[in-house]
Amino acid sequence: MQSWQYIALLGAVIAVTAAILPKNKKNQATSSSNHAQFEQLEMSFEQFMENMEKEHEGLVKMLTNSLQTMREEDRLKTDQMMRLEKKCSELEERLSSLSHANAAFDAKVSILAGNAAFAGESSTQVLQQSSFDVQLEQLKKSIVPVNSIHSRYTELFELYESGKSVEAIAKKLGKNKGEVQLILQLAKQEENARHA
């Protein structure tokens, strides 16, 4: 309640009390019963005020707790956004390096193809071709697809490769244990399919 409401309520109590109090001193019996009623009314009013204070304190505590909870959630969301922005910039850097590696690979392929076109059908050409094939396979294996599971869950795989358990990874990343296991299995399947 607001302070003006308390004042209005107090004024009402005083008005009721004034009406109950005896108007003349001749009626002592009525006066003592009115006095008892006044004391009872006063006790009721004090009890009412006490209850109102407790409710007010409860509301203040509830609002304070809600505000703290909202601040904590906001902090967590800000931290998560910062991590996602960092991960995004890392992925952009990785994509750039993969683009450069792909360009270098294309240049190497064109050079080797040009060398093969000018060379005759000699044994050196066969050796060069097999060397080229080996280099091509090694280069294909070293290039990680941009949209692979490893690139999407780098933090998860870093934790896994550092020896963390599935439970610890799930707890750290806020994921289910089953979800972490599924990601690891899909990554193994993707790796096997890429090398097959």
What is the band of 97 on the pLDDT scale with cuts at 50, 70, 90? confident
- Calculate helix-pair angle for 154-161, 177-195, nearest 10 degrees: 90
pTM of the model: 0.34
Average pLDDT, the chain: 78
Within a 10 A sphere around the Cβ of 100, how many other Cβ atoms?
10
Side-chain half-sphere exposure of 23, counting CA atoms within 13 A:
1
Between 24 and 68, whose confidence is greater?
68
Which residue matches tokens 């399919």?
193
Q: According to the model, what pLDDT value does residue 26 have?
A: 46
Side-chain half-sphere exposure of 62, counting CA atoms within 13 A:
6
Within a 10 A sphere around the Cβ of 153, how many other Cβ atoms?
21
Q: According to the model, what pLDDT value does residue 22 have?
A: 53
Q: According to the model, what pLDDT value does residue 141 have?
A: 57
User: In this model, does residue 142 exceed pLDDT 60?
Assistant: no
**153, 183 in Cβ contact below 8 A?**
yes
Compute the distance between CA of residue 165 and CA of residue 159 in angstroms, rounded to an integer.
8
Between 123 and 186, whose confidence is greater?
186
User: In this model, does residue 29 exceed pLDDT 50?
Assistant: yes
Compute the distance between CA of residue 34 and CA of residue 40 in angstroms, rounded to an integer.
10
User: In this model, does residue 68 exceed pLDDT 90?
Assistant: yes
Q: According to the model, what pLDDT value does residue 168 have?
A: 92
Q: According to the model, what pLDDT value does residue 194 have?
A: 75
Rank 40-44, 97-101, 168-172 by mean pLDDT and report only the highest. Answer: 168-172
| Closest to 143 in 3D by CA, of 173, 100, 182, 172 | 100
CA distances from 54 to 10, 41, 66, 195 (A): 18, 20, 18, 70
